[in-house]
């Protein structure tokens, strides 16, 4: 199924996390030019909204739903979404996510540009190359350094304080983590804990796309700061009212940050390693330049 008639390639996409549906509803992302749902070998993608920006058009995908938080992280169809973005010509993906805090040097409402990841997911389809001989891809930089630099420049130019590095641990969900799990992740070197960047980042690399998350921090993870259990509230008391206000203020800044990020990115050539992730397989003659033929059999 496809909605909208504009099939022109779009080079940049944004995958929105928690709160993305609010920005869509408010029309805060700019002038929308159409919406498409792409059929893929893995099912339909989430709706892809095309927006006009000063630097260049971009696609926007709300990871968790269009009107509310209607789809939790374990059930997002990551393969369909990434495949659809590639089919639309996307080369670079900005992703936003709202993880919890393990490293107490950070506080709710802060921005951070993660540079590494621990994958603690268990049951997700994590590769396009299922039942094939492909996918032995180095992860020395699991996120794109070029995109991270562009976002850093955008945040700096806009006067937005941020952390330039951090280790994100991705858990299975949808439940939140136990205190013992958070203690384990701290020992392993994690700064943040969330549920969305794996396998999303790895799938993008398999299709030679650049991918960088921008995180806004939502709450302290379980056991990091003592909090009373509060029935019926968001995170059941893990986020104070003041922290919630700081988080909402951070989300509201995303359109401005993204616009600055696009402007910082547009003149830059792709000099990172992301675009050559599958070069070895191409040179061996195992695959062609047509990425659609790389996909493994279910």
Whether the predicted pLDDT of 261 surpasses 90: no
Q: What number is the average pLDDT over the span 84-97?
A: 96
Task: Give the E-state strand segments of the chain in sequence order.
Answer: 12-16, 31-36, 39-40, 43-44, 48-52, 58-62, 92-97, 100-101, 111-112, 116-120, 162-163, 167-171, 192-194, 210-216, 219-220
Q: Show the CA angle centred on residue 34, arms to residues 33 and 39, nearest 5°.
A: 145
Q: How confident is the model at residue 5 (pLDDT cuts 50, 70, 90)?
A: very low
Amino acid 210: pLDDT: 97
Q: 30-42, pLDDT tens digit by residue?
A: 788 999 999 999 9
Q: Is the pLDDT of residue 208 over 80?
A: yes
Indicate the CATH number for domain 12-294: 3.40.50.1580
The model carries a pTM of 0.94
- Which pLDDT belongs to residue 263? 84
CA 142/CA 140 separation, integer angstroms: 6
Domain locations in the chain as residue ranges: 12-294
For residue range 93-131, list pLDDT tens digits in order. 999 999 999 999 999 999 999 999 999 999 999 999 999
In whole numbers, what is the pLDDT of the chain averaged over residues? Answer: 91
- What sections of 118-226 are H helices per DSSP? 145-157, 179-188, 197-206
Residue 110 CB contacts under 8 Å (≥ 6 apart), including other chains: 161, 162, 163, 216, 217, 250
Query: Stretch 165-180: mean pLDDT, rounded?
Result: 96
């Amino acid at each position: 199924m496809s909605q909208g008639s504009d099939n022109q390639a779009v080079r940049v996409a944004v995958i929105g996390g928690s709160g993305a549906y609010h920005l869509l509803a408010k029309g805060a992302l700019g002038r929308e030019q159409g919406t498409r749902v792409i059929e893929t070998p893995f099912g339909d993608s989430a709706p892809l909204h095309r927006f006009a920006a000063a630097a260049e058009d971009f696609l926007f995908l709300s990871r968790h739903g269009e009107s509310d938080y209607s789809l939790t992280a374990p059930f997002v169809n990551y393969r369909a979404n990434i495949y659809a973005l590639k089919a639309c010509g996307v080369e670079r993906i900005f992703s936003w996510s709202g993880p919890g805090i393990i490293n107490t040097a950070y506080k709710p409402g802060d921005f951070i540009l993660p540079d590494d990841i621990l994958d603690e997911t268990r049951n997700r389809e994590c590769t396009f190359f299922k039942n094939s001989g492909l996918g032995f891809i180095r992860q020395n930089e699991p996120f794109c350094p070029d995109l991270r630099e562009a976002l850093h420049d955008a945040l700096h130019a806009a006067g937005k304080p941020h952390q330039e590095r951090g280790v994100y641990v991705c858990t299975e969900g949808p439940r939140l983590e136990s205190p013992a799990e958070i203690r384990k992740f701290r020992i392993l070197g994690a700064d943040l804990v969330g549920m969305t960047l794996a396998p999303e980042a790895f799938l993008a690399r398999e299709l030679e796309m650049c991918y960088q998350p921008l995180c806004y921090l939502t709450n302290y993870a379980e056991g990091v700061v003592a909090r009373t259990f509060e029935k019926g509230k968001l995170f059941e008391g893990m986020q104070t009212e003041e922290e919630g206000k700081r988080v909402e203020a951070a989300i509201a800044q995303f359109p401005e940050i993204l616009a600055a990020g696009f402007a910082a990115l547009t003149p830059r050539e792709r000099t990172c390693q992301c675009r050559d992730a599958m070069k070895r397989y191409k040179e061996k003659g195992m695959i062609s330049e047509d990425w659609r033929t790389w996909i493994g059999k279910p």
